[in-house]
Amino acid sequence: MEVLAFGVQSDEKPLIEKAFAGKHEVRCLDVFLTEDTAPIAAGHEIISTSVNADLGGAVLRILAAGGTRMIAQRSTGFNNIDLDTAERLGLRVARVSSYSPHSVAEFAWTLAMAVNRRIVRAVSRTRDFDFRLDGLLGRDMHGRTAGVLGTGKIGEAFTRIAHGYGMNLLGWDVAENPACTALGMTYVDKERLFAEADLISLHVPLMPATQHLIDRDALSAMKDDAILVNSSRGGLVDTTALVTELRAGRFTGVGLDVYEAEAGLFYVDKSLEGIDDDTLARLVTFPNVIVTSHQAYYTADAVGQIIDATVHNVMDHLAGRSGPNFLVPRPTA
């Protein structure tokens, strides 16, 4: 059987081919799954997709009509998948429920310190042999307050690093993580966290309740010199409201690895044609903002774990098994 993998990065391809070797054939495509590319999957029982795939109702119907019976998504997030339609069509859908939390947590800290210490500007200057320090003044994280929204595995890993810096710790989540409280974290309502935190990092899933969690009111409540980092999902932040605050000269820095309208942009080379997204185009012009293209997970360790889990999901499907990685049918207890 040949598994068809959409949206495969060049670094991923040899890892995917090695993981499937001796089990099933796999064909890797660099194109992303969309309504236009979905017909390519005709005749393939199993396809694998990336987090930016379009798995809305229209695409799912094309896949089902072409004989696809199983979708193995290579990510934890699944807000791009119409699960109700998949269930009605009899499509099995699996994701990767967990992988190295350190990859994302470490990258979130990379963004935080890059904007804090003006690393991008400094490197740009030194490449032009400009060695001045004007405008590069940062600040110690030690003794300041980190606010962590979402204290699951990734949030906990982020908190451990913050604890290592000697920071005060504030957390917000639907349930407290004992490992975080053991590090000295105080759980508070999000309004207090916004008001007191010097560094705010987002580690919650995207769902209706968290859509635009960081909205105009939340941004207004933050300190003028706060640092905001989002390495979770773009829809957590109202980007239009964020641009308004940045135009007003607020925030020491903002590090974004995700963007609410990233589909069709991230993982694609737009350098020769430009983009028609005025909000993103304005966002990247601010000197205190860093935008990266959803790469926080992108370490050899995490990608390897994602691919291994995807292979297991495929094997479980072929053996008629289910499990916690399967979103359709619903996970069994």
Tokens (6 digits) for 221: 């409540």
Residue of 44, 233, 250, 317 marked catalytic: 233
Catalytic-residue membership of 144: no
Residue of 12, 118, 262, 317 marked catalytic: 262
Catalytic-residue membership of 233: yes
Residue of 44, 95, 294, 317 marked catalytic: 294
Largest CA distance in the chain: 64
Q: How far apart are CA 80 and CA 258, in angstroms?
A: 14
Buried b (16+ CB within 10 A) or exposed e, 100-125: bbbbbbbbbbbbbbbbbebbeebeeb
Catalytically active residues are: 233, 262, 294
